[in-house]
A and B are shown apart, each in its own frame.
Chain A
Amino acid sequence: MLVLTCVPAFLVLLILVGLFVRARPILAEKPFFSLLFSSAWSPLKGDFGLFPFIMGTLWVTFVSLVLAVPVSLLTAVFLSEYAPRSVREFTKPIIDLLAGLPSVIYGVWGVLLVVPLVGRIIAPFFGVTSSGYTVLAGGIVLAIMIFPTIISVSLEVFSSIPYQMREASLSLGATKWETVRHVVLKKGLQGIIAAIVLGLSRAFGETMAVLMVVGNIPRLPRSVFDGGYPLPALLANNYGEMMSVPLYDAALMLAAAVLLLVVLFFNVLARLILVRVERRAA
């Protein structure tokens, strides 16, 4: 049992080590940090700067969180605190269904709807010309994909808060909204952070839907209306192709390792925040 428990932790380590071993050829030629922070990506000339991809990943994820967190939290609050039972029971299965849709469907839908929306309406509104294949389009599609996760985890969290605690606040003459703000959200803070982290992890790793709408331009995005090229898309598009280019394979392995490191970093960060919140609320 103990051995079995150790397997997952061991696997993560094994994957990470494996990726770095395969990335050794490129690390032998150039220092790790110059690869990480260089913006030059032209494999034929031997330039493998990963910075645009790292930033592409961070941008898309950030945009999706900015869009998804407020909307999902307010939805969860409405469903748990305000909506009549019938609405809640009708909506919950639909939200759970959204979580199970294959991501390629979100991708196709993004190409058909979100990309033109960004290209023809949102970008011109801000006075920018854009094809629509942008970081923003990626962020929107991703946001819609992580709604269900954040909503259903938050709903679980809210329903674990005893009704009597809300009653205590109401009986002091607090309005429903005051009760939500000071009691429900406060008591549920820990769980809400966990919900957001779950959404975040999904956003980092999501490949298919994002790569279909984000433009895949290996250049540093300067605004949400630029195209981007997140790490997962880089791997999915290029692994197995162009392998004749020297060091390409090693560069992609390094990209994979970096993606893994980024995800690990944010997970650890979230865990630390959780521990602090826990200690304060104890």
Chain B
Amino acid sequence: MEIRPHLSVQNLNVYFDQLRILKDVSIDIPDHKITVIIGPSGCGKTTLLKSLNRLLDPLDGVRVEGRVLVDNVDIYDPRTEVTEVRKKMGLLSQRPQPLPMSIYDNVAYGPRIHNHVDKKRLGEVVEQYLRMAGLWEEVKDRLGEPASRLSVGQQQRLCLARGLAVGPEIILGDEPTSALDPQSSQNVERRLIELKEEYTVIVVTHILRQAKRIADYIAFLYLGELVEHGPAAEVFANPRDPRMRAYLTGEIS
């Protein structure tokens, strides 16, 4: 592990009203690897993921304690600009959420609002990221169509392209294949593996087989507690915690 990972969580506690969802979570996320957060449903996986780009903020009754450092800046520091934090991360949600506009405009959305791409180059940029997401060939003749006409699998890759176009360093996936058919899932997984060369990838999943397929690093959450984390090969071969062992053998799920 590197000395200074650019994403580090320190003593993170999250409360929904009185309920404590995350308990004192501390973890350094390794750069340019796929970190997979696993654990039974309702254990706080998604909450942990969303706390990384402050998507918990708009919810009523949520309180966050502790620090999340991105490039050594605490994103929960009141002086931190939340849009800057979010620009550093692309999000894939459980169900793809294309924005109510054309395929082209979906990818151009980020560059447009951040105004960091020259108008003339926008077309090239859109193409570049659609290629990166492996969608270009399928949509190049219908860029003006509403994004909602794509199949769900294509929509998820569109969301990936849209997220990449903002120029993030980190990609967050919240069970990004749970709404997809097996072939589309495989397609998305392959993209993620390609992308870890350039990005740090964090994926939440409840599918153990998927974790084994793509993970370099594993974080196991159980009832809001980070029970075990480490390189995937090690954790799968020699789980230290009995709860982790029980999860791997399918006794708890």
Chain A residues close to B by CB (< 8 Å): 84-85, 162, 164-176, 178, 182-183, 186-187, 280-282
**Chain B: interface residue total (CB-CB under 8 A):** 30
In the complex, chain B residues whose CB is within 8 Å of the CB of A162 = 97
A170 with B55: CB separation less than 8 A: yes
Are A171 and B89 within 8 A (Cβ)?
yes
Near A by CB (< 8 A), chain B positions 99-148 give: 99-101, 109-110, 113-114, 146, 148
Is the Cβ of A169 less than 8 Å from the Cβ of B100? Answer: no
- CA–CA, A175 to B190, complex, Å? 32
A172→B109 contact, CB < 8 A: yes
Instruction: Check B58 for interface membership: any CB of A closer than 8 A.
Output: yes
B86 & A171 in contact (Cβ 8 Å cutoff) = yes
Nearest-CB residue, chain B, relative to A183:
B99
Among A164, A176, A182, A280, which residue has its beta carbon within 8 angstroms of that of B109?
A182
A contact residues around B60 at 8 Å (CB): 84-85
| Given known A84-B60, A281-B146, A282-B148, contact A171–B99 (CB-CB < 8 A) | no
CB distance from B55 to the nearest CB of A (A): 6
A84–B99 Cα gap in the complex (Å)?
25
Nearest chain B CB to A30's CB is how many angstroms away?
52
Contacts of B159 in A (CB 8 A): 168
For residue B114, which residue of chain A has the nearest CB? A173
Contact with A along B76-100 (1 / 0, CB 8 A): 0000000110110111011101011
List 6 A-B residue pairs with CB atoms under 8 Å apart, sorted by A's residue number.
Answer: A165-B97, A168-B97, A170-B86, A172-B110, A175-B113, A280-B146
Assess A170 versus B58: contact at CB under 8 Å? Given A178-B113, A282-B146, A282-B149. Answer: yes
For B172, the chain A residues whose CB sits under 8 A away are 171
